[in-house]
Amino acid sequence: MSETRTLREREGLIFERSSAGRVGYQLPPLEVPQADPASTVPAGLLRGEIDGLPEVSEVDVMRHFTRLSKWNYSVDEGLYPLGSCTMKYNPRINEEVVRLAGLAQLHPLQPSDQVQGALALMWQLEQALLAVTGMARVTLQPAAGAHGELTGMLMIRKALAARGERRAKVLIPDSAHGTNPASAVFAGFETVEVASTPHGTLDLAAVARHLDGGDVAALMVTVPNTLGVFEPEIVKAAAMLHEKGAFLYMDGANLNAFVGIALPGKMGADALHINLHKTFSTPHGGGGPGAGPVAVSQALVPHLPVPMVEREGDRYTLAYDRPGTIGKVRGFYGNFGMLVRALAYIRSLGRDGLKSMAEGAVLNANYLRTRLEGDYHLPYDGPSLHEVVFDDSIQAASGVKNIDIAKRLLDYGFHPPTMSFPLIVHGALMIEPTESEGIDELDAFVAAMKAIAREAREEPDLVRGAPYSTPVRRLDEVRAARQPVLRWRRPDD
Amino acid sequence: MHRYQAGQGDRRAMLDAVGCASVDELFVSIPAEVRCGALDLPPARSEEEVRREFWAYAAANAAPECFASFLGAGVYRHVTPAVADALLQRGEFFTAYTPYQPEVSQGTLQAIFEFQTYVCQLTELDVANASLYDGATAVVEAVLMAARTLPQRRRVVVAGTLHPDWRAVLETYCEPMGIAITQAGWGGDGRVDAGALERLLGDDVCAVVVASPNFLGVVEDLPALRKAIAAAGALGVHAVAEATSLGMLAPGGRFGFDVVCGELQAFGIPAAFGGPLLGFFAARQSHLRQMPGRLVGETADSAGRRGYVLTLSTREQHIRRAKATSNICTNHGLMALAATIVLSLLGKKGVREVALASHAKAEYVKAGLRAQGAGSRAKLAFPESPAYNEFLLLHADPDGLLARLKGEGILGGVSTTRFGAAWPKGILVAATERNTREECDRLLDALRRLA
Amino acid sequence: MAQPNDRLYTKTHEWIILAGGEATAGITQYAQEQLGDVVFVELPAPGKKVEKGAALGNIESVKAVSEVFAPMAGEVSATNGELETHPELVNQDPYGQGWLVRLRVAPGAADGLMDAAAYEKFLAEEGAH
């Protein structure tokens, strides 16, 4: 074992590296008279140095976080086929332009004549997202997909209120991502789960029954759904909803499957959130930040959150005067840094590149589907788009579950697929390769999956004990939950 | 093919493998009626063209770095150590996903554990989550948590000195949940009066939100307010918009507040036109099961080595769905990493130094304004009130004054007129350790001449 | 697997022992196996009145939450405080130290519950699905 690896393995918490007297940053000279806080603030409201904060040098900090970084797997390193998460390549030009001082340092409360470039950029992004969705307007404010869902559902609530109605129910297919029901509830609705058809798609008859029962505000549906299957009757569903005065909320987590090919506006969507961190390549950042702009139909335009960026001639303004608005959903105007990156990506790809992106995503997923079918069981065998969902039923015969396959993949140097949903597939392996991968990378992944399928038959214990080559082995999640340790404390505390 | 994808050769080989003549065959499930023609967008651009376009956007803005800037009101300009961005640009951090596979995510997980620890230390509370979107939504989550904890109580009392945007966001979220909002007014000293607050409380109040330092830059009497809140049996929420103040001012956790939450942008996050920022949320141990957002916990692997995992996930939307404690999924993890790096660099001494220097710079400007005497048309709104690094300068035409200051290379602060008529007319001026004495002197000189 | 004969069972896999006007309830061996390692148990406050079949509390494993339903109508008289610090007792001893609540119940409230033999038959049928 090399010395570097040993050092890396030994790296503790930053607090444990602390050594009295070390400093990691030096401020310039104060230049003005020192001011005693106690001269302006009562002593009881003051504090001194904060106990437990570390004392480390700049070098210590660089080494510490560099070593931590080496324990992570990332898109820069290889295929990251997390279904529905769309882990595609994050272009570096986007990181360069977002750091320009005229964008990165801009204060949100500068008068609008000082921020015309930022407002123009946001307006351009809205136009691009309108082109991609065929909707009427877009709010760029939501900070993430779930935040977009909430914003969309609040608009639907407001639209109903504007015509003097209160409806309680939101229909959600059982294949939905968990944020859908949670967001609907925080928008003041109750959720009704709709069972999927045997093909894993929306059950139109069930939707009709619920609509006949009354009190339905909206249907929340992901297109293509979490199986990667396009909802064949989405247009009919939208018409049924609209006829009863209800709305269609479309979860755009999988929009990357049909950009440049089809338009949610033509499908009848009333609200659609767009995860810029999925379809438009803004980096996932180890859990965020994302951005979840919401595109709406004409019916919801009056209810968009404030402010909206408006253009008058060649001037841009932030408009707050919107009588039907749901109000503000966050501080300021959106995750601007993510908006910059997304527009840079859209400009880099252009009209043909965006379509080619969707084609590549769908072709790559279907290639993996073809190569792995037989080794892994396909619970729903209809045509799929940008992702494919296998299950572990073949491997389960020898006691190997999806989580074991996932952990063994780590030994082969790949990040595993999504396993936590869709809930309609037991032991799911939801694979989304994205368009970023070439055939060589995909073939290497196929080889690993096939090897694991063989191991599951011949040496199931090997698979069940994986991983072996990662910085740590399987972690005891039961202990973490039974006796939560959520922060560092000094050993003598 | 585009440079972000593999070539035509790959495409042909894969089409052969799946048995399709063209890629169009893969989209047969999408009906004709929803299809579109070519998108109304420009053609693909080279990297150099993209760079040029975005330079133009940037150049059309007035970057505060090119001015003497005293802008604050929720977003502040503090230290930006070079190390922080160098580390943030490591692909191992920024191109990774949420750490659902802990064996290959220990870097992210350990950094979040360190972040949670920093937030606990800053707030003097027991538990902190792995970040929220921003300060405004952090306050929302605190109020919603209180409403879950005390389900019979459907009213929240909010200090009138809370950031008006945060208040506006709270209204958006509370309305559908059936939570009423009552405002506690503020007195001539720019503070909420504990006696007046007490009169607004009752057994229908689930939470009281107090901002300190508040939107007017004034430090509230947290112990007195907490006493009134506790007597009513409501949860106390201390909201913090300027996180570096925690290097000088005692946090709500010390005085028994249930939640201390708000905005950590001041520790190393660029202003970025208001996002992404960094919401934080800390609470007493007893609220752990009702906390919103992700939590990282310590455990051990099968070989007995220390490691970290996402834990107590049953609170979250991917498991509890409609009954989750919040709908948040993607949070602001990379911003949390940035703050963790900056707090590590600053450390025990630096966190205090930044706070004392920011306070001293503001006191220097205030002393200069006092010296300009009663004749000045710009007056300190609360000259006797306890303060940190921000203050309200009363003026009859703040927007005009700011425009004149900009003419001299000074971004003098934020006009209160953009927040409505409820606020006294004036300019919120924020000073930080990054303002030089020369900048402060220029501001004072310009105010003397131009106010 | 044989179920203890001293108690009654529900189709949602709770058990109950009746002694005078008081009933002790918990979840079955089968239920704890399905749940996996229990990490947290949320129980109602004493004094709470529950209808038969109403949610009595939650049992959490690392990646799932399961509701526990009241086998009978009644008023909660006590809960198993040991579970706060030792939720694993539900796994280790579901019919003994892993009990969940005591209820004050009205006479005749046990209608519709199964004895051990009937519950075993029910499990066998369930397993066949």
Report H helices in B207-261: 222-231
Which chain B residue has the Cα nearest residue A235?
B34
Interface of C with B in 77-106 (CB under 8 A): none
Residues A160, A38 within the same domain = no
What are B262's two structure tokens? Answer: 């708000």
**Count of domains forming chain A:** 3
Q: What is the mean pLDDT of residues C25-41?
A: 94
**B161 shares its domain with B279:** yes
Compute the nearest-CA separation of C108 from chain B (Å). Answer: 33
Closest partner residue to B329 among A145, A355, A435, by Cβ?
A: A145
CA atoms within 13 A on the CB side of B250: 17
**Which chains are within 8 Å of C by 3+ CB pairs?**
A, B
Question: C35, C43, C65: which to substitute to probe chain B, counting the most B Cβ within 10 Å?
Answer: C65
Residues B166 and B309 placed together within one structural domain of the fold: yes
pLDDT at C2: 77
Q: List the single residue in B137, B219, B333 with the smallest CB-CB distance to A41.
A: B219
Q: What is the pLDDT of residues B124-138, one digit of tens each?
A: 999 999 999 999 999
B219 burial class (0-12, 13-18, 19+ CB within 10 angstroms)?
Answer: buried
- If you search the block for the tokens 């880099």, which residue do you land on? A348
Say yes or no: A306 and A362 in one domain: no
CA distance B162 to B316: 28
Task: State the total domains in chain B.
Answer: 2
Nearest Cα residue in chain B from C61: B314
DSSP-derived 3-state class of residue B369: helix
Cα gap A59→A49, rounded to integer Å: 22
**Domain stops at, among B340, B371, B396:** B340
Cis peptide before A416 (omega within 30 of 0): no
A287 inside 8 A of chain B by CB: yes
CA distance B30 to chain A (A): 7
With respect to residue A114, please indicate whether it lies within any of the assigned structural domains: yes
SS3 C97: coil
- Residues β-bridged to residue A194: A173
A3 pLDDT exceeds 70?
Answer: no
Q: Where are the alpha helices (DSSP H) in A214-272?
A: 234-243, 264-267
C65 touches chain B (CB under 8 A): yes
CA dihedral sign of residues B257, B261, B263, B265: positive
Residue-level pLDDT at A1: 39
d(CA C89, CA B84): 47
Q: Rounded mean pLDDT of chain B?
A: 96
Residues of C in contact with B319 (CB under 8 A): 63-65
* C-beta separation of B273 from A108 below 8 A: yes
CATH number at residue B336: 3.40.640.10
**What SS3 class is residue C10?**
coil
Of B340, B363, B380, the last residue of a domain is B340
Contact (CB<8Å) B327/A150: yes
A270 in the same domain as A213: yes
Q: Is residue B38 part of a domain?
A: no
Contact A62, A409 (CB under 8 A): no
Q: Is B52 inside any structural domain?
A: no
Same domain, B73 and B88: no
Nearest-CA distance C10 → chain B (Å): 24
Q: Phi/psi at A172 (nearest 5 deg)?
A: -140, 125
Helix (H) or strand (E) holding C31: helix C29-35
3-state helix, strand, coil in chain A (%, to 5): 40, 10, 45
Tell me the two tokens of residue A440: 């060589």
Per the CB < 8 Å rule, is A351 touching B43? yes
Return the SS3 of A492: coil
Is residue B5 in some structural domain?
A: no
Q: B245 and B269: one domain?
A: yes
Domain end among A348, A371, A395: A348
Q: Is residue B40 assigned to a domain?
A: no
Q: What H or E segment, with its residue span, contains residue B183?
A: strand B180-184
**Furthest-apart CA pair in chain A: how many Å?**
77
The verdict on A106 and A163 lying in the same domain is yes
Q: How close B313 comes to chain C (CA, Å)?
A: 7
pLDDT-derived band at B373, boundaries 50, 70, 90:
confident
B320: chain C residues, CB-CB within 8 Å:
65
Q: What is the value of pTM for the model shown?
A: 0.97
Question: Among B314, B316, B319, B323, which would you mutate to test the C interface (most chain C Cβ atoms within 10 Å of its Cβ)?
Answer: B314
Q: Which residue of A has its CA nearest to C84?
A: A482
Contact state of B348 with A53 under an 8 Å Cβ cutoff: yes
Q: Report how far residue A14's alpha carbon sits from residue A6's, in angstroms, rounded to the nearest whole number.
A: 17
Q: How many helices (H) and strands (E) does chain B have?
A: 13, 15
Q: Which letter, b or e, does each residue of B392-417 get, where b requires 16 or more Cβ atoms within 10 Å of its Cβ?
A: bbbbeebeebbebbbeeebbbbbbbe
A142, A283 contact by CB (below 8 A) = no
Cα distance between residue B21 and residue B128, in whole Å = 55
Q: Which residue of A has its CA nearest to C87?
A: A482
C40 vs chain B: nearest CA distance in angstroms?
Answer: 9
β pairing state of A271-273 and A247-251: parallel
Query: What's the pLDDT at A7?
Result: 65
- Write out the two tokens for A282: 């803004």
Whether A260 and A395 map to the same domain: the answer is no
Burial B188-212 (b: 16+ CB within 10 A, else e): ebbbbbbeebbebbeeebbbbbbbb
CB contact under 8 A, A286 and B98: yes
Is the domain spanning C8-67+94-105 CATH 3.90.1150.60? The answer is: no
User: Does one domain contain both A148 and A296?
Assistant: yes
Domain limits for position B407: 64-80+349-450
A477/C40 Cβ within 8 A: no
Q: Which residues of A touch C92 (CB under 8 A)?
A: none
**Do B139 and B261 share a domain, yes or no?**
yes
What ipTM does the predicted assembly reach? Answer: 0.97
Mean pLDDT over each residue of chain A, to the nearest integer: 96
CA atoms within 13 A on the CB side of B329: 30
Indicate if A273 and A329 belong to the same structural domain.
yes
* Per-residue pLDDT reduced to its tens digit, A108-140: 999 999 999 999 999 999 999 999 999 999 999
Last residue of a domain, one of B307, B340, B373: B340
- Asked whether residue A10 carries a pLDDT value surpassing 90, the answer given is no
Confidence of residue A2 (pLDDT cuts 50, 70, 90): very low
Q: Which of A288, A318, A348 is the last residue before a domain boundary? A: A348
Inform me whether the C-beta atom of residue C64 falls under 8 Å from chain B C-beta atoms: yes
The verdict on residue A378 lying in a domain is: yes
What's the CATH number where A430 sits?
A: 3.90.1150.10
Are the Cβ atoms of A487 and B116 closer than 8 angstroms? yes
Tell me: the pLDDT tens digits for B300-311? 999 999 999 999
Does some domain include residue B270?
yes
Domain of A369?
A: 355-479
> What is the average pLDDT across A210-226?
96
In-domain check, residue B376: yes
d(CA A247, CA B305): 52
Q: Which of A214-223, B244-253, B371-380 has the lowest mean pLDDT?
A: B371-380
Give the whole-angstrom CA distance, residue B41 versus residue B2. Answer: 16
**C66 and chain B in contact, CB less than 8 A:** no
A477 to chain C, closest Cα gap in Å: 7
Report the neighbours of B using a cutoff of 3 or more CB pairs below 8 angstroms. Answer: A, C
- B191: phi then psi, degrees, rounded to nearest 5: -120, 155
**B89 and B76 in one domain?**
no
Both tokens of residue C47?
């004094």
Q: How many CB atoms lie within 10 A of CB A317?
A: 15
What is the count of residue pairs from A and B with beta carbons less than 8 Å apart? 694
Specify the pLDDT at position C1.
61
